[in-house]
Amino acid sequence: MPFIPSTALLALMRRLAALPSAPSSNTRQIGPAGIALVKRFEGCARLRTDGLIEAYPDPGTGAEPWTIGWGATGRDYFSGGMIGPGTRWTQAQCDTRLAADLARYAAEVAAALCSAPTTQNQFDAMVSFHYNTGAIARATLTQKHIAGDNAGAAREFARWNRAGGRVMKGLVRRRAAEAELYLA
């Protein structure tokens, strides 16, 4: 595994800590089942022969947003700029970004749910959903969960199965797995 110099790692940690939506230390965290679900459906694709992982275009659109590692999109906190063609990361960088992204998405889910009773499995399923869609604040799924309609909330996962305007088999499978975890 490539070595990340300590100064570069410290600089990255400072940048991640300075993100506007960085979670506080008392924010609820995604559990092992949720992390496994995200990793199962995101994969860490595009491993090159030199051991680096490269970005690829969105499967639904064939273009933006470019994705790397465990589903990271947007800003490239390691090299600056945006993730796009030519972005390459080490496995350690992919894992570091996943941890930071999951913490941020978990904080956003916790904020959206307020004090609604939520099991760890429900929380994990909703973080996976939000990680993939970015829609926790506007989804009917969230409203039904807050209202205590768990069966209705579980049915809502299936509605989020499209990318680029068409139903994607991978999203159908992911939403079914999220609903299953939510109800477990």
Tell me the catalytic residues: 42
Q: Exposed, middle or buried: residue 98 (CB in 10 Å: 0-12, 13-18, 19+)? A: buried
List CB contacts of 106: < 8 A, sequence separation 6 or more: 23, 27, 28, 29, 30, 123, 127
Q: Which distant-in-sequence residues (6+ apart) come within 8 Å of 33 by Cβ?
A: 120, 121, 124, 181
Reading the block at residue 46, the tokens are 């595009």
Of residues 178, 29, 42, the one with CA closest to residue 102: 29
Residues 138, 112: Cα–Cα separation, whole Å: 9
Return the SS3 of 68: strand
SS3 88: strand
C-alpha 4/C-alpha 6 separation (Å) is 6
